Amino acid sequence: MATKTKSKSLGSMQMTKQLYQQQASKYQPKRNVLLNSLRAFWVGGTICLLGQVIQNMYIHFFGFTEKTASNPTVATLIFLSVLLTGLGVYDNIGQYAGAGSAVPVTGFANSIASAAIEHRSEGLVLGVGGNMFKLAGSVIVFGVVAAFVAGVLKSLYHMFF
């Protein structure tokens, strides 16, 4: 049994799915994939370079070891990301760099801070507290569960080998 192609009537013109896609493609902006990739690469790399500079500062000026300097480095990057989000600068970086600003830890901090800022008018508990973890909740849950599974596997490995 043959089926007919679904079409919607627009006055005297029949709009098929293919015709609609052809019409819509005329109005879609053209994406320069190479330029977007280069922007993401250099901005993401610059964020990581900044993190390395901060870590080296903690090592050389404050006497941290390479291992102990990682926690304050991440905390400093998170602080800078939240500060730039509050000032509205990180959004401009995100518009320019795309995924280059979203991948490092600063992108995660930006997503939580921007949700908190957006919903602050609803109150501290239900607005800020409730909404800032809607976006980040799945990431946090995955991290906790993955750490638990890795810990159990490591413990079992050490018990039997």
Structural domain span for residue 152: 36-158
Q: Which residues pair with 8 in a beta bridge?
A: 15
> Up-side HSE of residue 55: CA atoms within 13 Å toward CB?
15
SS3 106: helix
pLDDT in tens, 98-142: 888 887 788 888 888 887 777 777 777 777 777 777 777 777 888
When comparing pLDDT for 57 and 22, which is higher? Answer: 57
Q: Which residues contact 14 (CB under 8 A, 6 or more apart)?
A: 7, 8
Asked if the model's pLDDT at residue 12 lies above 50, the reply is no
How many domains would you assign to the chain?
A: 1
User: What integer is the mean pLDDT of 62-77?
Assistant: 95
- Phi and psi for 13 in degrees, rounded to 5? -105, 135
Q: Is residue 7 part of a domain?
A: no
Is residue 5 within 8 A of residue 18, CB to CB? The reply is no
Q: Is residue 8 part of a domain?
A: no
- Phi and psi for 103 in degrees, rounded to 5? -75, -45
SS3 40: helix
Q: Is residue 87 part of a domain?
A: yes
If you average pLDDT over every residue of the chain, what do you get? 85
Q: Is residue 4 part of a domain?
A: no
Is residue 106 within 8 A of residue 47, CB to CB? The reply is yes
> Considering the entire predicted model, what is its pTM?
0.67
User: What integer is the mean pLDDT of 57-68?
Assistant: 96
Q: Is residue 2 part of a domain?
A: no
